[in-house]
Amino acid sequence: MTMINSVLGPISPDELGKTLVHEHFVCAQVGWYATETTDPYDREEALRVNLDVCRVAKEVGIKTIMDCTTNDLPRDPLLYKALAKQSGLNIICVTGLFSEHLGASHYWVVKTWFNVDIARRMADLFIQEITKGIGKTGVKAGAIKVASGETISDYDKKVFTAAVMAQKETGVPIITHTEGPNPGLEQADWLIKEGADLSKAMIGHVSNSTDFDYQKAIADKGFYIGFDRLGFSFYTQDDVCIKNIATLCRQGYTDKIMLSQDSVNFWAGRPVPADIPKDLADAMSKTWRVDHVCRDIIPALKEAGVTDKQIETMLVDNPRRLFTGK
């Protein structure tokens, strides 16, 4: 039987239950650590805030949360362990690297000046964090997260190639971050070219786009598609996502859809909401939260004709199959 790395150790796929596949207990932009003097990261406060987040998630029936914070973002495995122990939720964390245009790629790019095979070195890093653990934390990653901008750069391709290399050796899923309205097809094509196991791969943030045909086209290639920024109104309004999800379900794509919010529940460094227009911050805070899918999106999907069985498929069956491949 396939076993899944949770932050407290291996669990069976049947233990996942209702799963949010893309959330962040703590997040920030790359470079947040440069302001540690003026905006220090407070793990105790992060624990306090996120224990309440876990409580809210459990109230709406969530059993598992995947934290998709990559190595070059403020990933905190020790926080995840504490949250899992104290809340009773299954928590799965990732290994991986963020995109060139939003990430800390220069560390790796410099190595290419000296003909270092960075894809191989990245893959070795991912494999070690999956099979042996993340540093000295005792936590093993359960999935690989990769990202690109509106186009997939040569650097991003190296990261994606490394992810596929690591997937071939470990069997864990690959989850992507997309930026802008429709870069997912390019990501999908590169993963296919490199030989990824598509039964264990999700193109994320397709909900950034209003384009139904784009979303359907990625699913047609064999990938799971993540409507995983629900409530994040900076990109697409929920009503468009609900319409597209319901249409996909009617057309037979229920077994390709994942639901989540990409919520950030605690900020390392200066919180982003403190630096954006108040009206935008207020609008985001109303819906960009861990229980939005269960409290708001599911009732709206039901009104749009989506059945209880289809909702169970998207929240329970599909996350399980993402890990098992079947």
Pinpoint the alpha helices (H) of the chain.
43-59, 77-87, 106-112, 118-131, 154-170, 184-194, 212-220, 238-250, 278-287, 292, 298-303, 308-312, 318-324
Q: Would you call 96 helix, strand, or coil by DSSP?
A: strand
Q: List C-alpha distances in Å: 220 to 76, 151, 246, 302, 303.
A: 35, 20, 17, 24, 26
Q: Are strands 19-23 and 64-67 parallel, antiparallel or unpaired?
A: parallel
Q: Would you call 241 helix, strand, or coil by DSSP?
A: helix
Predicted confidence at residue 203, as pLDDT, reads 98
Homologous superfamily of domain range 17-324: Metal-dependent hydrolases (3.20.20.140)
Q: What is the pLDDT of residues 165-190, one digit of tens each?
A: 999 999 999 999 998 778 999 999 99
Evaluate the CA torsion angle 52, 53, 54, 56 in order and state its sign. positive
Q: Are strands 9-11 and 4-6 parallel, antiparallel or unpaired?
A: antiparallel
Q: What is the pLDDT of residues 45-90, one digit of tens each?
A: 999 999 999 999 999 999 999 999 999 999 999 999 999 999 999 9
Q: Would you call 273 helix, strand, or coil by DSSP?
A: helix
Highest mean pLDDT among 61-65, 106-110, 278-282, 286-290: 61-65
Predicted confidence at residue 268, as pLDDT, reads 93
Distance CA 160, CA 119 (A): 8
Distance CA 144, CA 96 (A): 5
- Helix, strand and coil percent figures for the chain, each rounded to 5: 50, 15, 40
In this predicted structure, the answer to whether residue 204 has a pLDDT above a threshold of 90 is yes
In this predicted structure, the answer to whether residue 250 has a pLDDT above a threshold of 90 is yes
Phi, psi for residue 57 in degrees, rounded to 5: -60, -45
Q: Where are the domains of the chain?
A: 17-324
Burial class (CB in 10 A: 0-12, 13-18, 19+), 132: exposed
The residue among 4, 28, 13, 7 whose CA lies nearest residue 267 is: 28
Q: Are strands 19-23 and 9-11 parallel, antiparallel or unpaired?
A: unpaired
Asked if 179 and 153 touch (Cβ cutoff 8 Å), the reply is: no
Tokens representing 249? 């379900």
Q: Looking at per-residue confidence, does 286 or 192 come out higher?
A: 192
For the chain, give the mean pLDDT.
95
Distance CA 217, CA 33 (A): 39
